[in-house]
Structure formats: structure tokens, C-alpha cells
């Protein structure tokens, strides 16, 4: 199943990461170019400062004295001292470790070398005026050459490329590190924002999941962002159409069941009279079958009326403390004719019964349906058991039972199992389930715990 949240997070994080990496790379390259230009500008400035100093010096003396001044004792560090210098300890009492990577040379117009620093190499090429790159003894140098028209000399200032590259890389890295460190913070912010933006969808889903099938109230669109108004409006429109259809169906069922009660009662009276006046056994047998079918129809009409009344209930009405054990005994007394007819042994056990909050009339319908089912589907000379403990009711019979794969369907309306010999409409368990829902009770169908044939119905009240 596709996830909008996962899609948004992956897409936004990918875009931000790619954009951040591209920006960091672009900044890195731009920083390198800017730093390279700055170093080139410094070379040019050093060459012009040297030009000014040489012009002043040559007015007072010759360049030999200046060359003597450029000769100094080498202060090279040994390997141990060089290894001991950290990145922040590049300075020493004698100078800087990068000082030897800078050099300058001065030639006469004829090409004679006049002066140079100790770090300058004799192999540095005297290029034409401007910036150039040179390679001497495996070392790359960046040079700037200047020709003085008045002094008729060439001035060349040089810097090793490795120190330029090292410093350029350090400056560029320091420039892009803040951007790279900002990416995780942005990703966390995006994740929070996406989760926060999709929270109304989770709210709608949670609200719909918590509803039962009979709750078709419209959603309050004021609680959701305007972007979800189309979805909320569509859901509300569906609820309204379902509510209208359900109301018409219930009204039709109630009207039809109510209108059928009187005619069916009249037909039953006529059939009973005809059975009493029947002269032959075949006619009496036909009338007996007709009465049996009529009883089934009357039973279904009564259950339809019960279900219609229950469907209109949105919540439990007339709730009061009810002793479920006393109610069970009353229902068993009402069912005594059927118990005697089938010679069924009905056992009732009560253990620490606690009163429950419920509607006595609805609970009577629930118990009557469950006991009636147990008696109808149990064979003759069998046994049913009612057990009440605290707020839990258990009814067991010795009938054919319900296969596990059909137990959920058995509580749907008009569903009947393979056992069709007994009068039934397939509404009894659905009525019981509806009453249990109104009482916030849990109803389950299982096999008997002693592994004998039969059905075990358990209802746990809150």
C-alpha cells in the first residue's frame, strides 16, 4: 500500500539532500576560485611593493647589498618538531612553516639574475609579464612577472601550488561546513512538518475506525484544513445517502412487519380451525405443515419488529441495575413448554452475580433469543446450560454447533447455517449482537470447552 507520508518524506529529503550537495559543491568551487583570485592578487601586490622597494634601494646603492640582506640561516625543523605542529600551530619563533613556499627573483633586462630569496629555485622560468604556472623539481609554482620600464629589470614573485591548494581547500571547507551541518536540521524540520500536515488525515481515519456501523453522523469540516474539505464533503455526502437509504429500509421493514402481524394471526386461526375439522390424515398433515411454515413467518415478523426498534436506538435507554441471574431464571420458566416438549434438561448455575447497567426489556429479548436458539437446535433428550459469573453469561447447548469459518457470518442478518430443520429467520443472533453493542458488551461464539458437539455463546458485560 502506498504511503503519502513516505512519498513526501522521501521526495523532500531527496530534493533537499541533492540540492544541498549541489549547493555545497558549487560553493566549494566558487570559494576555490575566489581564494585563488585572492592569492593571485596578493602575488601581484607583492611584486609591485617589491618594485617600489627596489626603485628606492637602487637610488641609494646597488642591489648587491640587498642580496646580502636576503641571505639568512636556515631554520628548518626536524621531523619530530614538524610532526609536533598541529593545524593551529603553524607559527614558530623563527617564522612560519609556509615561508619557504614563497619566493621572488629579479633579473636584469639582459637576463642576468640580480637577487633572489633562498627559497627561489634557479630553475624557475622567467616568463613574460603576467601570471603563469611552472613546475620545478616536481613542485608546481604559481608566478607573477613584472617588467619595470624605468629600472629595466624583471621582477618575478612565486608561490608553491601545494600551499595554495591546501589553504584554498581549508577555506572552502570552512565555508561549506555550516551548509552541510544545516541539512540534518532541515530534514528534521521537514519530517516534523510533513507529519504535522498529515495529522488531520490520521484524525479522520481514527474517528471513522472508532464508529460503529450504525453511526452515520457527518464529520465536522470545521476541524480540518481547507485542503481536506473535498474529502470531508465526499465522506459526509456518502454518510447522508447511506443514512437516507438505511432509514427507508428500516421504515419499510417496520411498516411491512407491522402490517403483516394481523393478517398472519388471522390466517393462523383459520388454519387451526381447518386442522380441527380435517377428516383425513393427508389433509391434516398438509395443514400441520402450513401451520409450521406460518409459525416461522410469524416468528420472522416479530424479530423484524424487534430489530427495527433496536436499529433506531443510538444509545442505551432506560438503563438501570439488572440482576442477570434472575432474568435467566425468568426466561427458563417462559421456555418450559419447549423444554418439556423436547425433554431437554436445562441447568442454571450462578456464581457471584453482580448487577449490570442495562435495559431490562432489551436484555430479556437477548436472553430469550439465545435460550430459544439453544433449545431449538439441541436434539431431544439433550442438555443446555446457563452459567452466570460476575458479569459474564455463558450458554452451552448440544446442537450441531457453528463451524469456525461461519461464526462471524452467523451474526449477520438473514444468515442461516446448514441446519434448516428448525424454524428460524436468521435474525436471532443479529438481534443479540445489536443488544450487546448497545450495552457495550462483547459477544462471542465458540465450541464447547468439554469438546462435545454444541455451541458456546459467551457475553461479557462491562
- 446 shares a domain with 366: yes
Q: What does the alpha-carbon distance between residue 249 and residue 255 come to, in Å, rounded to a whole number?
A: 10
196 domain-assigned: no
CA 447 to centroid of chain Cα atoms: 38
- 162 shares a domain with 251: no
- 379 shares a domain with 287: no
- 337 shares a domain with 275: no
pLDDT value of position 80: 44
Q: Which domain holds residue 241?
A: 223-308
pLDDT value of position 210: 79
- 388 shares a domain with 291: no
Tell me which of 116, 148, 181 is where a domain ends: 181
- Residue 79 banded pLDDT, cuts 50, 70, 90: very low
- 146 shares a domain with 10: yes
CATH assignment of the domain containing 270: 1.10.287.130
H helix or E strand, kind and range, residue 65: helix 63-69
- 97 φψ region: left (φ > 0), alpha (ψ -120 to 50), beta (else): alpha
Condensed to tens digits (0 to 9), the pLDDT of residues 235-287 reads 888 888 888 877 776 676 666 666 676 777 777 777 787 877 777 788 777 88
Percent of the chain with pLDDT strictly greater than 70: 79
- 16 shares a domain with 113: yes
- 327 shares a domain with 416: yes
pLDDT value of position 443: 92
Backbone φ and ψ for 76, nearest 5 degrees, come out as -60, 140
The predicted model gives 23-41 an average pLDDT of 80
Q: What does the alpha-carbon distance between residue 88 and residue 93 come to, in Å, rounded to a whole number?
A: 14
Condensed to tens digits (0 to 9), the pLDDT of residues 173-197 reads 776 777 777 778 888 888 888 888 8
| Pairing between β-strand 130-136 and β-strand 139-148 as defined by DSSP bridges | antiparallel
For residue 227, the 8-state DSSP code is G
H helix or E strand, kind and range, residue 442: strand 442-446
Max mean pLDDT range (77-91, 191-205, 274-288, 402-416): 191-205
- 35 shares a domain with 127: yes
CATH assignment of the domain containing 396: 3.30.565.10
26 domain-assigned: yes
- 273 shares a domain with 366: no
Q: Judge whether 348 and 342 are in contact, CB under 8 Å.
A: no
38 domain-assigned: yes
- 452 shares a domain with 386: yes
- 276 shares a domain with 134: no
Amino acid at each position: 500500500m502506498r504511503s503519502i507520508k513516505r512519498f513526501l518524506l522521501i521526495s523532500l529529503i531527496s530534493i533537499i539532500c541533492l540540492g544541498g550537495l549541489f549547493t555545497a559543491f558549487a560553493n566549494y568551487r566558487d570559494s576555490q576560485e575566489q581564494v585563488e583570485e585572492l592569492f593571485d592578487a596578493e602575488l601581484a601586490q607583492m611584486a609591485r611593493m617589491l618594485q617600489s622597494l627596489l626603485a628606492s634601494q637602487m637610488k641609494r646603492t646597488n642591489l648587491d647589498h640587498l642580496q646580502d640582506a636576503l641571505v639568512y640561516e636556515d631554520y628548518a625543523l626536524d621531523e619530530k618538531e614538524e610532526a609536533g605542529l598541529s593545524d593551529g600551530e603553524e607559527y614558530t619563533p623563527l617564522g612560519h612553516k609556509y615561508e619557504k613556499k614563497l619566493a621572488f627573483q629579479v633579473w636584469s633586462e639582459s637576463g642576468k639574475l640580480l637577487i633572489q630569496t633562498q627559497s627561489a629555485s634557479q630553475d624557475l622560468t622567467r616568463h613574460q609579464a603576467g601570471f603563469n604556472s611552472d613546475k620545478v623539481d616536481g613542485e608546481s609554482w604559481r608566478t607573477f612577472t613584472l617588467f619595470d620600464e624605468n629600472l629595466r629589470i624583471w621582477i618575478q614573485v612565486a608561490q608553491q601550488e601545494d600551499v595554495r591548494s591546501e589553504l584554498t581547500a581549508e577555506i572552502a571547507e570552512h565555508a561549506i561546513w555550516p551548509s552541510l551541518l544545516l541539512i540534518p536540521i532541515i530534514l528534521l524540520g521537514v519530517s516534523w512538518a510533513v507529519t504535522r500536515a498529515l495529522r488531520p488525515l490520521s484524525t479522520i481515519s481514527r474517528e471513522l475506525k472508532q464508529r460503529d456501523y450504525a453511526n452515520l453522523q457527518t464529520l465536522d469540516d470545521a476541524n480540518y484544513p481547507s485542503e481536506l474539505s473535498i474529502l470531508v464533503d465526499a465522506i459526509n455526502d456518502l454518510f447522508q445517502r447511506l443514512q437516507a437509504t438505511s432509514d427507508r429500509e428500516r421504515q419499510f421493514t417496520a411498516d411491512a412487519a407491522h402490517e403483516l402481524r394481523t393478517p398472519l394471526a388471522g390466517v393462523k386461526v383459520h388454519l387451526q380451525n381447518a386442522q380441527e375439522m380435517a377428516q383425513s390424515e393427508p389433509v391434516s398433515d398438509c395443514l400441520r405443515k402450513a401451520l409450521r411454515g406460518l409459525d416461522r413467518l410469524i416468528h420472522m415478523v416479530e424479530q423484524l419488529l424487534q430489530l427495527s426498534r433496536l436499529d433506531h436506538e443510538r444509545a442505551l435507554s432506560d438503563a438501570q441495575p439488572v440482576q442477570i441471574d434472575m432474568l435467566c431464571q425468568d426466561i427458563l420458566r417462559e421456555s418450559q413448554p419447549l423444554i418439556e416438549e423436547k425433554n431437554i434438561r436445562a441447568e442454571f448455575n450462578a456464581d457471584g452475580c453482580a448487577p449490570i447497567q442495562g435495559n431490562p426489556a432489551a436484555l430479556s429479548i437477548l436472553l430469550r433469543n439465545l435460550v430459544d436458539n439453544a433449545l431449538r437446535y439441541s436434539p431431544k433428550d439433550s442438555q443446555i446450560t446457563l452459567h452466570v459469573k460476575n458479569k459474564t453469561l455463558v450458554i452451552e447447548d448440544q446442537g450441531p454447533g457453528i463451524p469456525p469459518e461461519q461464526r462471524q457470518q452467523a451474526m449477520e442478518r438473514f444468515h442461516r447455517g446448514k441446519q434448516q430443520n428448525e424454524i428460524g429467520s436468521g435474525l436471532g443472533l443479529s438481534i443479540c449482537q445489536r443488544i450487546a453493542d448497545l450495552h457495550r458488551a462483547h459477544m462471542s461464539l465458540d465450541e464447547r470447552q468439554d469438546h462435545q458437539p454444541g455451541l458456546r455463546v459467551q457475553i461479557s458485560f462491562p
